[in-house]
Structure formats: structure tokens, C-alpha cells
């Protein structure tokens, strides 16, 4: 009940990161289970001491963000050992409904805490904490439940399971079903199982049912892989607050300086700061670079804050000078990234600036470092909260995964010079058409090109439409639509997207028009033809259906795709050709990326088929009635794993994708079709 393709993409990313990143940080989960299994004794004489010892390896699972369930349940067990022992005995009783057990544990915790403390404090025994106890005790059956995490996973995998606030029993039930389905697919992935087994040590639980692996993959999808995560800052004392010191800048200059929506650290010579394991390592590298001729030397502590501790959702204030002058407030949108392609400020954090101006807090001593964690300064934080206490419009931040030029080249089988030409062409012309043979991945390239230029997978700034013979101006721009009683004007996809881009002129937007030559372009664009040109952006024309002046904003880019092998389509007229630049997407069989992919598959029959396809493409390119625009693309053969690549999969591609295509190409040359069909089939033998 979810998009399995998305799960496979996430698993591919997880496997890539597993040894280098994930395992070293998350190994403790398997160690926590093993430790609990070895030390748990429900009949222990000193139950509180045993409980504290058994939970000793759980790390931040039971103590994070000011929520201390382990500390609280241990404290309760010291004061009420008999009751807490009975609570755990009931919780681990598999003859009783699990939802009733969880609810009973919560209620009993509340009762015991009321007996223990006169203060109104929280027992912290939530569904999340109780699910951890269940998982530690029976790791072959249970997973760790966390509502915010499973909601992110369901959204990323496009699951049909719904998770709603307050729907306690339904949420946990759906969580268990979703994780069971993910677990079943993980068990079939021999590569990921071997990866886990290669890292397990004697201190780790062996995880025969892969439930803990499923927990970790869920955590990875939620925190590190997901396309978008909504962060809503609480703006209270617990939310980290930081100063960014901007000496000598007035509000107007600051506004211009930060229009790009980033915080930049000008310490590019050191390289990727996230690769340094400690402040000491950063300081040593900075000292080395300084001695080699760098003009300045930053604080290692400040640099560590910037690259390792500031996280999405944290709040940052820009201050000016020594007194209490504030130039703005923002919310951090991304983890630290190092972008070597930038001309300046390669060390960056992305920020949503919610306030820009000039404010003053009187009679306040301000920390003077360039970047300072001011969270401990309670009085100062309180003053700032009062200063910005009004409701913020849309004060939620959507965090999108970063996407770089290197990601593009890895995913799209294109070399660096081709990418550079393509990116420069789009930036200059603002309108391009990617044309190419079937299967070269034109639509795939379009989306990834937009992501790479945005430096993140921001799906809100990319619109995809597909033209067809019935598509009209009324669909694309504006037109009348029937209602129950009469007709009303409704705006179209392009009109709405242009308005959205115009309202956010600090960011670029990308409209992808798939199969652009299948529509009647004069009819669809209407009077907007002129506005598409780069030098006409921002200029206005009067719309056909509405007394309104309309313009195409300069921060909107159009990417069309066109299949050059479709003989049924008329040629594009010269008016449109003049407004678009055309970029040929070629089959990528000879690129470094595809050859690396081919090497990873390590399959002789696959290699034979690819050689045959390349020979076939040579013949197609030399055919006077066809040409390079009809060559067969690489995407027919992409997305396979060594486990999926078998005789049946290859035969299916050849029989149901390639051979029907060449039958269409050479419909009047049956002998040539038979010859190449036999060659392709022989390559499989």
C-alpha cells in the first residue's frame, strides 16, 4: 500500500550511505537490543537497579529533546518497584491486545507519578517510549513507533495509510502494517542483508527478522532521504537561537546581501567542514591554511557551530554592531552543505528570512562573536520573542534534500561539459527544448536539471504539464468553465505558476512541458508568445478573458521535451523555435556514469545486449530515413539491480520495448526487422 519504486530508490540511497555514514551512528540500536536481552530480568531482586542497567545502551532513544522517559520510569521504579515490575510484566504479556497494554502502561504511569510528586510534571511514557520497551523485549516482532517519523515515511513513499493527530489506535495499527510491508521487501533484498551481516559484531543483536534494520531504514527515510520535511519552529527557550554578527551593515545592505536566502561562511579554503570529526581537527586545518597564506582565521568553535550544530528549524538573528540593533530574523532551512561550484561562500546554510528591517532592544549586553549560540541567554531570548511576537505568515519551513551538479551527473548519464552547456543555455535563453530519441530520459533530465540549478529537490518550484492535441489556452492560461448555474472564469496551470513565481522573486521556478510538440502551441500560448522571450520577461500584455495585465516573471524558466522519433507530429513553427533553444539528449551508453552502472551489474548477457543496441544505433543513425534522432536510449535499461537483472527481465525489455520500436521504424523493411530481432535475441543466449 505504498509506491514501491520510491522505497527501492530510498533503499539504494541507504545502501550507498550504510557503511560510510549510517552504521557508525546507528549501530547502537542493535547493541541496545543485545544489551537489554542479556540484562533484563523481570524477577530481579533489585528491580530498579536491573531496569536502569538494562536500559543503559538505549542512548537518545529514551532521552532526547527534553523528553526523559528512561529517567522517569527508573525514578518511578525506585519508589514503586512492585508496581513498575507489574507494569512491565503486563506490557510484555503477548496474550493481551497490544493497544490495551500500551494504554494501561500509560495510565499506570500517570497514577504512580501522581502518588510520587505533587508537582504537575509529565511521566513521558508515550506510545514512542512504550514501543521501544516492546521492541527491546521482543525485537523479532516489534518496531519503534514515532508518529512524526512514520508520517514522513508515509508521505515519502506515497502510502495509502493515513496518520492523524489523536487517532491513537488507528495510527499504531497503520504503522505496524506499513512497517511489516517494508520489512517483507527488505527481507528479499539480499544486498542489504549482506551489508548488515558484514557489520554486525558480537555486541550486536543478530536481527534475524530484520525488524531493527527496518526501524533504521525508516529513520533514514524520515531524516536523511525524504524529499521534504516540514519544520515548525516553536520559538521558545528550547529552540536553539543564534546571533549572526553583521558589523557595519545597515538594513538595506543586509536585505540585498541575504536576498539569496543563505548564511554563508567565508572559509572556503578549508573545504567541506562536515568531514572534520572535531573542533580540534577544524582548528588544525584552519591554522595550516592560515600559515599558507589565507587572509583571516575564524574561530574553530564558531565554525563547528555553523557546520555541525545548527539544524533545520533553529532560529537565527542578524545583529549590527555592539548595541542592540537587529536587522532580521530567519529560520534555518537546511543542514550544512559545502558547494564547491559557488563563486563565494561555498560553506552555506539555507535560511528562510521571516523579518527584514531595523529593530532595537535597549539596555542589553550582546555577545560579540561572529556566530553565537544565545539559547542560554534566557532574558535576551525572551526579549527577542517579545520583539517578534506577532504571528508570522507561513512560519513553517519545508526542508528539501540538497541536489548538486554531481548528483545530476551521477543520475543522468551526461558528462560535465554537456551539463555545463545545458545549464548555461537555460540560464541565458530561459526557454529550452530537450529533444531526443525514445528512451534517453528527457523528462527525467528536465526535473534533475531544475533540481541541480536550485541546489535542492524543491518540488514546489517545479511544475510538470504534458501537452496533447486537446490541450488549450483555457487549460493553460485562463478560460470559462461550467458551474451548476452558469460559467465562471478559472485560471490555468501556467497562469497560477507564473503568479507563484512572481510572488517569490528571490527563487527560480521551472515549468516543464512534456511532449511540447504534441499541442497546438499557437492555441495554447495565445498572446503570451511574445512574453516568453528572455528580453520580454516582466513586460505586460492584456489577457484575453480578463481585464488584467499579465507578465511572465524573469525567475521562471521553461523546459520542454520533444520526441524526435514521432513522425505523426508537425514541425514546430518558426515563431516558437525563435523563442526556444534546442538541446539534443543522446543515448548515454558510452558515458562514465552508464559504464559504471554496467560494471556494477556485472552481467555478461546485459553487456551483450548493450553492445548489440550500440550496433543497432549505428545502423539507425546511418539510415537516411531515420538518423540520430531515432536512436534507442539508455533509459530502457536503467534502474536494474544485480538481483533484478535476470534472463526474464532482459528478454522482456528486448521483446516488448526494443523489437516493437524497430518494427515501427522499418515497417516497410521486414527483412531488416527480422535480422535485428534475431541479433538481439542471440545476445540473450
pLDDT at 313: 79
pLDDT at 232: 47
Q: Compute the Cα dihedral for 187, 188, 190, 195 and give only its sign.
A: negative
Query: Who contacts 222 (Cβ-Cβ below 8 Å, separation ≥6)?
Result: 148, 149, 150, 152, 153, 156, 229
pLDDT at 55: 93
Whether the CB-CB separation of 613 and 598 falls below 8 Å is answered with: no
Q: Could you give phi then psi for residue 44, rounded to 5 degrees? A: -60, 145
Q: Is residue 160 over pLDDT 60?
A: yes
Q: Compute the Cα dihedral for 166, 167, 172, 175 and give only its sign.
A: negative
pLDDT (mean) for 492-499:
88
pLDDT at 354: 77
Q: Is residue 207 over pLDDT 70?
A: yes
306-331 pLDDT, tens digit per residue, is 888 888 878 888 887 656 678 888 88
CA atoms within 13 A on the CB side of 316: 29
Whether the CB-CB separation of 514 and 436 falls below 8 Å is answered with: no
pLDDT at 569: 45
Burial (CB count <10 Å: 0-12, 13-18, 19+), residue 389: exposed
CA dist., res. 41 & res. 37, Å (int): 9
What residue has cell string 548528483?
407
CA dist., res. 533 & res. 576, Å (int): 10
Higher pLDDT, 290 or 153: 153
The pTM score is 0.52
- Exposure string over 451-464, b if 16+ CB within 10 A, otherwise e: bbbbbbbbeebbbb
CA neighbor of 77 nearest in space, from 113, 23, 103, 104 = 113
Q: Is residue 209 over pLDDT 80?
A: yes
27-57 pLDDT, tens digit per residue, is 999 999 999 999 999 999 999 999 999 999 9
pLDDT at 257: 60
User: What mean pLDDT value characterizes the chain?
Assistant: 82
Whether the CB-CB separation of 335 and 311 falls below 8 Å is answered with: yes
What residue has cell string 549501530?
27
What residue has cell string 508521505?
155
pLDDT (mean) for 509-528:
85
Question: Three-state SS across 288-345?
Answer: HHHHCCCCCCCCHHHHHHHHHHCCCCCEEEEEECCCCEEEEEEEECCCCEECCCCCCC
581-614 pLDDT, tens digit per residue, is 889 888 888 888 888 888 888 889 899 999 999 9
CA dist., res. 425 & res. 432, Å (int): 8
Confidence of residue 440 (pLDDT cuts 50, 70, 90): confident
545-579 pLDDT, tens digit per residue, is 888 888 899 999 999 998 876 644 445 566 667 78
Q: Is residue 395 over pLDDT 50?
A: no
Confidence of residue 368 (pLDDT cuts 50, 70, 90): low
C-alpha cell at 425: 543555455
Confidence of residue 180 (pLDDT cuts 50, 70, 90): very high
Amino acid at each position: 500500500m505504498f509506491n514501491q519504486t520510491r522505497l527501492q530508490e530510498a533503499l539504494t540511497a541507504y545502501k550507498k550511505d550504510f557503511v560510510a555514514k549510517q552504521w557508525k551512528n546507528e549501530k547502537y540500536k542493535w547493541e541496545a537490543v543485545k544489551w537489554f536481552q542479556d540484562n533484563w530480568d523481570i524477577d530481579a531482586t533489585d528491580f530498579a537497579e536491573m531496569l536502569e542497567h538494562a536500559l543503559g545502551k538505549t542512548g537518545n532513544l529514551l532521552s532526547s529533546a527534553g523528553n526523559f522517559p528512561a529517567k522517569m520510569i527508573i525514578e518511578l521504579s525506585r519508589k514503586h518497584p512492585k508496581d513498575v515490575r507489574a507494569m512491565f510484566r503486563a506490557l510484555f504479556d503477548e496474550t493481551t491486545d497490544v493497544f490495551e497494554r500500551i494504554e494501561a502502561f500509560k495510565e499506570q504511569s500517570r497514577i504512580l507519578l501522581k502518588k510520587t510528586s505533587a508537582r504537575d510534571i509529565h511521566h513521558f511514557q508515550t506510545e514512542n517510549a512504550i514501543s521501544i520497551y516492546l521492541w527491546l523485549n521482543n525485537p523479532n516482532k516489534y518496531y519503534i513507533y514515532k508518529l512524526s517519523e512514520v508520517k514522513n515515511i508515509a508521505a515519502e513513499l506515497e502510502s495509502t495509510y493515513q496518520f492523524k493527530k489523536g487517532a491513537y489506535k488507528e495510527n499504531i495499527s497503520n504503522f505496524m502494517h506499513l512497517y511489516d510491508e517494508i520489512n517483507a521487501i527488505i527481507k528479499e533484498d539480499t544486498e542489504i542483508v549482506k551489508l548488515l551481516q558484514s557489520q554486525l559484531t558480537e555486541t550486536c543483536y543478530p536481527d534475524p527478522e530484520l525488524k531493527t534494520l527496518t526501524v533504521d531504514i525508516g529513520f533514514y527515510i524520515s531524516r536523511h532521504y525524504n524529499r521534504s520535511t516540514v519544520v515548525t519552529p516553536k520559538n521558545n527557550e528550547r529552540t536553539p537561537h543564534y546571533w549572526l554578527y553583521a558589523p557595519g551593515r545597515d538594513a538595506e545592505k543586509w536585505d540585498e546581501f541575504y536576498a539569496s536566502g543563505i548564511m554563508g561562511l567565508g572559509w572556503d579554503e578549508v573545504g567541506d567542514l562536515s568531514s572534520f570529526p572535531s573542533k580540534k581537527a577544524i582548528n588544525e586545518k584552519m591554522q595550516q591554511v592560515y600559515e599558507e597564506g589565507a587572509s583571516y582565521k575564524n574561530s574553530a568553535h564558531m565554525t563547528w557551530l555553523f557546520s555541525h550544530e545548527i539544524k533545520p528549524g533553529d532560529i537565527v538573528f542578524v545583529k549590527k554592531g555592539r548595541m542592540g540593533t537587529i536587522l532580521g530574523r530567519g529560520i534555518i532551512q537546511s543542514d550544512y552543505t559545502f558547494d564547491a561550484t559557488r563563486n563565494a561562500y561555498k560553506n552555506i546554510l539555507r535560511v528562510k528570512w521571516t523579518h527584514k528591517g531595523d529593530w532595537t532592544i535597549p539596555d542589553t549586553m550582546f555577545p560579540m562573536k561572529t556566530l553565537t549560540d544565545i539559547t542560554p541567554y534566557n532574558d535576551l531570548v525572551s526579549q527577542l520573542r517579545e520583539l517578534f511576537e506577532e504571528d508570522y505568515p507561513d512560519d513553517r519551513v519545508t526542508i528539501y534534500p540538497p541536489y548538486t551538479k554531481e548528483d545530476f551527473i551521477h543520475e543522468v548519464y551526461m558528462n560535465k561539459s554537456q551539463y555545463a552547456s545545458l545549464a548555461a543555455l537555460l540560464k541565458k535563453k530561459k526557454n529550452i527544448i530537450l529533444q531526443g530519441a525514445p528512451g534517453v530520459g528527457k523528462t527525467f533530465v528536465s526535473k534533475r536539471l531544475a533540481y541541480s540549478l536550485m541546489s535542492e529537490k524543491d518540488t514546489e518550484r517545479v511544475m510538470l504539464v504534458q501537452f496533447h492535441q486537446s490541450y488549450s489556452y483555457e487549460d493553460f492560461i485562463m478560460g470559462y468553465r461550467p458551474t451548476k448555474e452558469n460559467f465562471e472564469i478559472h485560471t490555468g496551470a501556467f497562469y497560477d505558476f507564473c503568479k507563484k513565481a512572481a510572488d517569490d522573486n528571490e527563487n527560480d521556478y521551472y515549468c516543464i512541458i512534456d511532449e511540447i510538440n504534441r499541442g497546438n502551441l499557437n492555441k495554447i500560448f495565445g498572446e503570451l508568445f511574445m512574453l516568453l522571450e528572455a528580453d520580454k520577461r516582466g513586460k505586460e500584455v492584456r489577457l484575453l478573458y480578463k481585464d488584467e495585465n499579465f507578465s511572465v516573471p524573469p525567475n521562471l524558466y521553461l523546459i520542454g521535451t520533444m520526441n524526435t522519433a514521432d513522425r505523426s507530429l508537425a514541425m514546430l513553427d518558426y515563431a516558437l523555435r525563435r523563442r526556444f533553444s534546442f538541446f539534443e539528449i543522446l543515448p548515454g551508453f558510452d558515458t562514465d556514469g552508464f559504464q559504471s552502472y554496467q560494471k556494477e551489474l556485472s552481467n555478461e548477457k546485459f553487456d551483450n545486449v548493450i553492445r548489440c543496441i550500440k550496433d543497432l544505433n549505428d545502423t539507425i543513425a546511418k539510415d537516411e530515413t531515420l538518423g540520430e534522432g531515432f536512436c534507442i536510449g539508455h533509459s530502457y535499461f536503467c534502474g536494474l539491480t544485480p538481483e533484478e537483472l535476470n534472463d526474464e527481465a532482459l528478454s522482456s525489455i528486448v521483446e516488448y520495448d526494443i523489437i516493437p520500436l524497430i518494427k515501427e521504424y522499418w515497417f516497410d523493411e521486414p527483412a531488416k526487422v527480422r535480422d535485428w530481432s534475431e541479433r538481439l535475441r542471440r545476445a540473450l543466449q
